[in-house]
Chain A
Amino acid sequence: MRRGSRLAASGLALGVLLVSATASGYCRTTTCDPRRQACPRDAQGCMTGGIPLAWPEACVGFSVQRDGSVKLGIDAGTLRGIVTDAFATWQAAACAPTIAWSPLEDASCAEVQYNSQAPNANLWLFRDEVWPYDDGGKTLALTTVTYNLKTGAIYDADVELNAAQNLLVARDPRGPREVDLRSIVTHEAGHVLGLAHSGEPDAVMNERYRSGTTSLRELTADDVSGVCAIYPADRPLGVCRPVPRHGFSPSCATEAPLEEGGCCSVAPGRRRGSEALALAALLGGALLAATRRRARRA
């Protein structure tokens, strides 16, 4: 009985949680990082601090990892087609967003990376064997967006799809265990474009997806408003050249591990000159504390 009552209380919370989603619309990703500074939010929960992110180019190239997913039986060509369709869905918004996506050569590289002085690839890839993050394997897809702090210009975006622990399907799903790859890719493409969440319950960028459905394939008016706000018809554009920043490389480019003039950033108020020392102190302190704990136990 107690368990049932608790469940009912939680259900009540869930009900209002879901209803509350109707109160707000799309949000944009910004440069504000709450680990560095205060990041205010508006009544809808959208971050208002920082500069909203956007691709400055009219045309952007992307690449898929050439192995596709052997485990799921989805080859690179199929993934390329699904990603192309997803970007086309966003591009078909009524305002004709001023950004176009083109598939580049399939990549041998299977790494999420951004090179500040070497070629890049805006990569989509499956993780078949190991999902390398601490999330209990529950993540279906992870998008990493690299940007310029001062301008909000997006430099690079990579999307990892977790095939190690999830049954992603390229066709229509046939049951609740199957996850619609087209839905997930369309949603992640929204993040690649610079969108964050939406409170609109039916939006592609909404916070909920029920597996076994294709509910995130089609844009809603809210999604259209979001992409049109980022890429309006009157934004200044250069020549269409769908090449990633610093050129395209299908293999993982390499460069010095700690580029851009230093290794670290620090909490507000700390001088930049002491950054490397500060990080060393932080890590050293942890080591020292652990050593002391071990010594105490001994």
Chain B
Amino acid sequence: MLTRRQLLSGLGAAAWSLQAGVARATTARALDLPELLRLSGAVSVATPIEAQSRWERVGGQRRIVTYVRLQLEQTWLGEPEAQPLVRTLGGQVGDTGQVVHGEAPLALGQRALLFLTPRTRELRSVAGMAQGHYPLLEGPRSPARLTQSPGLPTLVDVDAASAVVRLSGQRLDDASRLVVEAAREAR
């Protein structure tokens, strides 16, 4: 049986899914929540405050990358950091732009729940690319809810266990409970 809270949570998530615009690109297998957590060193609510792009070699490839500075607000799992630096693929340098379909588009000023992978001691990336990015949609009278990343790839074999399905549309406190419980079960 569904409890009233769980039903309302599910309905809220469902209604939110109707509103959330989603851009899909590239192709990736859907990550379930424990898989996403295994890729993550930290799970945080944060706001991108600054971004810088440059040409750089990544995995042997010469690409444009964008470094995004985050202002952390809450850390649910992992070690809290005030302003971690995250590297994302793609960006714009001079008159040249590069879009990497499937990467998390960390919009400046947009609060989001982020699953972060440590790359080096100083540098993070978004775990699972856009599957680890959940922008928060907040209205003046309604609590903030998680939405799917606009950069979400085309998902292969998505089902009810997929992280994007379990988290999208959830209120922050419900999402926090889901993440912490999943992390406990994953141990």
27 contacts between A and B (CB under 8 A): A5-B6, A12-B13, A14-B165, A16-B18, A17-B165, A17-B168, A24-B21, A34-B106, A34-B150, A35-B107, A41-B21, A43-B21, A134-B128, A135-B28, A135-B128, A135-B129, A138-B29, A139-B129, A140-B28, A147-B96, A149-B94, A149-B96, A184-B27, A208-B158, A258-B54, A263-B54, A282-B85
- The interface size bin for chain B is 35 or more
Which residues on the B side are within 8 Å of A133 (C-beta)?
59, 89, 129
| CA of A296 to CA of B16, assembled, Å | 44
Smallest CB-CB A-B distances: 6 pairs: A45-B21, A132-B59, A9-B10, A16-B14, A34-B107, A207-B24
Which residues on the B side are within 8 Å of A176 (C-beta)?
157
Contact B152 A207 (CB under 8 A): yes
Which residues on the B side are within 8 Å of A166 (C-beta)?
29
The answer to whether A79 has its CB under 8 Å from any CB of chain B is: no
Among listed A61-69, A96-104, A228-236, A285-293, interface-contacting one: A285-293
In the complex, per-residue mask of B37-53: 1 if CB is within 8 Å of any chain A CB, else 0? 01100000000101111
Given contacts A135-B128, A146-B97, A179-B156, contact A12 B11 (CB under 8 A): yes
Contact A149 B14 (CB under 8 A): no
In the complex, per-residue mask of A130-144: 1 if CB is within 8 Å of any chain B CB, else 0? 101111101111111
The answer to whether B186 has its CB under 8 Å from any CB of chain A is: no
Contact A10 B27 (CB under 8 A): no
Which residues on the A side are within 8 Å of B57 (C-beta)?
257
Contact B61 A187 (CB under 8 A): no
Secondary structure dominating the interface of B:
mixed
Binding site for A on B (CB under 8 A): 1-3, 6-7, 9-11, 13-15, 17-18, 20-31, 35-36, 38-39, 48, 50-55, 57-64, 66-69, 81-85, 88-102, 105-108, 110, 117, 119, 121-123, 125-129, 131, 150, 152-162, 165-166, 168-169, 178
